[in-house]
Structure 1
């Protein structure tokens, strides 16, 4: 029997942070690409929005010998993993501020930042115009925002597999507040950035599929990275069977990513 579609009130803020940190994710490549675009000189104060377990935070530190990183995430578990990672790096002491915060709310920063970056986070937040406003308020004039996230058309195969698995198609966020993901397009993103006070806009959609192997690799990836909101709605005893069902419905062991890439300057 087909499951009744659920309407998700909030994005999933908690993760299996340890497994997430151990996976060989395309997020590492995405993060490196975003950081390359920052054009850091070494003394900036950088805001890492949705820092997760800290891969990009640590990479930033190596590029900021005289700078500082503000690592912000809405997941306690991700920040616990980040703190564990930082404890092994004595050079990070005093150079990272860890902040638990929800991007849907004004950001609780006491000092402005020179640069803001985000990797694979914005598609979990329903209101991008609000996010851009919150970032603009803590970003100094002339500071840059560089980000990437799932964009329009992202994981279409996965969403179709969810429908065939009987969970109602797993809707994307819409104007009524329902859904799981916010896969925005170019024009709406440019409009939201401009309204928030950004200029020098560059926004694009880029296909970037992740090819995996059938079986454990694909299922672990789905469970840890893609299907967190869905698993949260199920009893833990149902998780493994649910993930296997979705994996079996995929035509190939591929996560068909389409990335929304953003570069903008605060007026």
Structure 2
């Protein structure tokens, strides 16, 4: 795999209404999960497919896929825009290796860049479409990150991304809250705040489509194991660094019982936003 840039990281705590993320911890988690990601990432695949279907397909000559993961969106961009210059960026090198494998199966190629999405290593006005599925929620400063994305877009360029919003993991959060006051899950913006961030970064004609997806599990521990298998572990900078004790985890499972459905499954709620804007 030919890398075009060195790995760049931005791991500074910021003045944000949400807690900041430990980028190195997150990168390690996604690197470890890369080889098994597609087997467990049904939700991510569903959301990416909808984002691909919703975004515009006219006049695209250059595309940047931010947080490409195993390359589902990148592969779709290669198919939809066969004459375009496609760039796939991820901060986990093993994810890029999986993207390369996916593209080789369909006899397509893209420029692979290993870098932090908050340090985009591109000159101004490099792309006329920037797309990202379920990655930008990990930004330590979303407005600043979107401002850099705006800079990289050509005049009248398009932004399309999906992200989690407030209400995501509400069952997990409520259950842990009844056990202790520690940070166990990520925080996500409300839709109004999200729109304000996109507009503050300079985007016009911002449109947001909302969706709620409820995943069902036969056991409570499967909820957390599914998150771990795709690398989406808790990477808050202020997370507890110790192991979750058996007693506390048992208390968490007990608290989760109030969400148990009539079919004996346990729900996990994901609130989604599909965001589109113009430069």
TM-score, shorter chain, exceeding 0.5: yes
Q: Single out whichever of 54-63 and 77-86 deviates more from structure 2.
A: 77-86
Q: Single out whichever of 27-36 and 74-83 deviates more from structure 2.
A: 74-83
Instruction: Give 2:142's aligned residue.
Output: 128
CA displacement, residues 93-121 of structure 1 (integer Å, 9 cap, x when unaligned): 3xx1111121222x112571111111111
CA distance in 2, matches of 1:215, 1:73: 31
Are positions 1:227 and 2:229 aligned together?
no
Structure 1 residue runs of 4 or more that deviate by more than 6 Å after TM superposition: 238-245
Instruction: Give 1:34's aligned residue.
Output: 51
Instruction: Give 1:47's aligned residue.
Output: 64
Does the aligned pair in 2 maintain the 1:122–1:182 contact within 8 Å? no
CA displacement, residues 19-49 of structure 1 (integer Å, 9 cap, x when unaligned): 2122251111211111112222475311111
Q: What are structure 1's unaligned runs of at least 5 residues?
A: 1-6, 171-179
Which residue, out of 101, 108, 126, partners 1:84? Answer: 101
Instruction: Give 1:190's aligned residue.
Output: 195
Which residue, out of 149, 155, 158, partners 2:169? Answer: 155
How many equivalent pairs are there? 245
CA apart distance, 1:54: 1.1
Q: What are structure 2's unaligned runs of at least 5 residues?
A: 1-18, 261-265
CA distance in 1, matches of 2:250, 2:68: 29
What's the TM-score once normalised by structure 1's chain length?
A: 0.78
CA-based RMSD of the aligned residues comes to: 3.0
Does the aligned pair in 1 maintain the 2:51–2:160 contact within 8 Å? yes
CA apart distance, 1:196: 1.8
CA distance in 1, matches of 2:38, 2:254: 25
What's the TM-score once normalised by structure 2's chain length?
A: 0.75
